[in-house]
Amino acid sequence: MARVYNFSAGPSMLPESVLKTAQSELVEYGTSGQSVMEMSHRSKVYDAIIKETEASLRRVLSIPDNYKVGFIQGGASTQFAMVPMNFMTTGEADYLVTGQFSGKAQKEAAKFGEAKVVASSKDKNFTYIPDVDKIEYSKNASYIHICQNNTIYGTRFTKLPQVDGIPLIADMSSCIMSEPVDVSKYGVIYFGVQKNVAPAGMAVAIVRDDLLENTRTDIARPAMLDYKTLIDAESMYNTPPCYCIYMMGLVLKWLENDIGGLANMQKLNETKAAKLYDFIDNSKFFNNPVNKPDRSMMNVTFTSPSEELDKKFCEESTKAGFVNLKGHRSVGGMRASIYNAMPAEGVDKLVEFMKKFEEENA
């Protein structure tokens, strides 16, 4: 059976070459006589895997030396609680709510202190990003939190909140590795890996040294929810998500060796997104509701003239080999997630299908 074009928002496509490498190493990794799925995380062989994965991550993202990296079980949703439990040192923090996941993060944070919603785009169904320069931030905020790319609504921050003395914390689950990142602009970056990096089951946290050394002291955190405990143990406080880390290492090698780094990845992603948005903008049948300057490069949302046609489009596209194009239940319509591993050919063929569908149903 031929592989389909998987436009899922996550878990998402992985590069085919990565899957083939994993396949060839599934039963035996190197000359170890065992699969990575089986080996002890304390073994010399696995120690080399996890260390090389972190080294690759640092190279690809150009992570400065004063930032630590942690591989953490669970997804970004666990981080929603870990962030305030560790870093809300003043008892309050500012949240920009620009979609469902930043809203969930704010609600989790409110369990541990005052999580102020200093800006929101809910008034227009999260179809835009508030002007970060016009927001009145709290003087006593421990940090400012954003979800940098909004998977469900198809928006992204193109400008970052930057307030002297207040660290920026960003959930970058659905945009990490899609373009170069200036890590020094953030206090913390965290992301679930299942969209652009690896199979589901892990989050990665990149934490600036000074924040890690000055976590809040007024609450007792479980060890598994303490960044310092996990990172000081080099992600080996307990058995880490071993296979997920191995797969991440393969994806990072693909980014470095096959793509040539994040600058090249950005060019490829911009080309894919432009092709899809250009078609939608010139169509009299399909529509994208997002404010143009705030459009996501990873998640393209669109609708047809009716819910009935949306349903028909999803049914027929699936039969044609384009899967998981149905929009999130809270938004409806369609959503094409065109993460790094989606080949340009996939977007080209989707546009061809959309043209045909429009001609037959307009």
pLDDT score, position 330: 82
What are the residue ranges of CATH 3.90.1150.10 in the chain? 5-15+261-361
**Residue 51: left if φ>0, alpha if ψ -120 to 50, beta else—which one?**
alpha
- Tell me the one-letter amino acid at 26: L
What are the residue ranges of CATH 3.40.640.10 in the chain? 17-258
In this structure, the number of other CB atoms found within 10 A of the CB of residue 171 comes to 28
Distance CA 330, CA 87 (A): 31
Distance CA 166, CA 143 (A): 5
Return the structure tokens found at 289.
Answer: 């509701």
pLDDT score, position 1: 56
Identify which of 120, 61, 57, 115 has the alpha carbon closest to the alpha carbon of residue 91. 115
pTM: 0.97
- Helix extents (H) in 168-306: 209-212, 227-232, 242-253, 262-281
In this structure, the number of other CB atoms found within 10 A of the CB of residue 210 comes to 10
pLDDT in tens, 271-329: 999 999 999 999 999 999 999 999 999 999 999 999 999 999 999 999 999 999 999 98
Peptide bond into 11 cis (omega under 30): yes
17-258: CATH number: 3.40.640.10
Domain 5-15+261-361 has CATH 3.90.1150.10: yes
**Residues 121/154, Cβ–Cβ less than 8 Å:** no
Identify which of 72, 111, 68, 67 has the alpha carbon closest to the alpha carbon of residue 88. 111
Sequence-distant (6+) residues with CB within 8 A of 247 are: 14, 18, 22, 198, 199
In tens digits, what is the pLDDT along the chain, a chain of 362 residues? Answer: 589 999 999 999 999 999 999 999 999 999 999 999 999 999 999 999 999 999 999 999 999 999 999 999 989 999 999 999 999 999 999 999 999 999 999 999 999 999 999 999 999 999 999 999 999 999 999 999 999 999 999 999 999 999 999 999 999 999 999 999 999 999 999 999 999 999 999 999 999 999 999 999 999 999 999 999 999 999 999 999 999 999 999 999 999 999 999 999 999 999 999 999 999 999 999 999 999 999 999 999 999 999 999 999 999 999 999 999 999 988 899 999 999 999 999 999 999 999 999 999 98
- Tell me the one-letter amino acid at 155: T
